[in-house]
């Protein structure tokens, strides 16, 4: 109890330092919360394809360092995986990053996802707002995330 009284005396004695320390604690709590939110968002965004396709076993080569940049693996490895018991089919799945530059000078990052046709494995069925996965087969077809649709709809012609 004596220690608490002494601490309160210090707080009353040097008010500017006390206010600065309190402000620093409030800012640090805010920043910790903000960084936790960003971490949670990015973690959820990175594991999207695995989360919506939980019936799959994901295989990469030993050179892969970034899950958001998956290159095609050797087809022989696909045949080897298909020879395992309880494996029905091995499908290629490609993820690459890109950028779009618009006529007004702005730019946006893109995730380019490639799947095998006609199975469309890796694309969650029933998530298309307008159309179906088979609409993506035609030359020049593009799918845009609904979250970013407002930004991209002015520049892409869907056919």
Residue 66 inside a domain? The answer is yes
Indicate whether 129 and 88 sit together in one domain. yes
Indicate whether 104 and 148 sit together in one domain. yes
Residue 31 inside a domain? The answer is yes
Indicate whether 91 and 128 sit together in one domain. yes
Backbone angles phi, psi at 143, to 5 degrees: -115, 135
pLDDT at 122: 63
What does the radius of gyration of the chain's CA atoms come to, in whole angstroms? 25
In total, how many domains does the chain have? 2
Residue 42 inside a domain? The answer is yes
Which of 15-29, 44-58, 127-141 shows the highest mean pLDDT? 15-29
pLDDT at 128: 67
Residue 121 inside a domain? The answer is yes
pLDDT at 159: 37
Domain extent at residue 105:
60-152
78-86 mean pLDDT: 86
Q: How confident is the model at residue 24 (pLDDT cuts 50, 70, 90)?
A: very high
Indicate whether 76 and 141 sit together in one domain. yes
Q: Which helix (H) or strand (E) holds 80?
A: helix 75-82
CA distances from 34 to 23, 41, 115 (A): 16, 11, 35
pLDDT at 74: 80
CB atoms within 10 A of CB 69: 13
The model's pLDDT over 95-145, given as tens digits with 9 standing for 90+, comes to: 777 787 777 888 877 777 777 777 776 666 656 667 777 777 777 777 766
Indicate whether 31 and 107 sit together in one domain. no
């Amino acid at each position: 109890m004596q220690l608490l009284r002494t601490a309160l005396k210090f707080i009353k004695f040097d008010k500017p330092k006390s206010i600065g320390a309190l402000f620093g604690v409030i800012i640090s709590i805010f920043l910790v919360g903000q960084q936790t939110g960003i971490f949670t968002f990015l973690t959820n965004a990175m594991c999207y394809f695995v989360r919506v396709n939980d019936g799959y076993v994901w295989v990469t080569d030993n050179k892969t360092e970034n899950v958001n940049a998956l290159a095609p693996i050797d087809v022989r490895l696909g045949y080897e995986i298909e020879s395992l018991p309880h494996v029905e089919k091995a499908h290629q799945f490609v993820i690459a990053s890109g950028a779009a530059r618009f006529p007004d000078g702005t730019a946006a990052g893109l995730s380019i996802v490639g799947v095998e046709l006609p199975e469309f494995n890796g694309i969650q069925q029933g998530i298309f707002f307008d159309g179906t996965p088979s609409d993506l087969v035609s030359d020049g077809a593009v799918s845009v995330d609904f979250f970013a649709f407002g930004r991209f709809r002015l520049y892409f012609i869907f056919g």
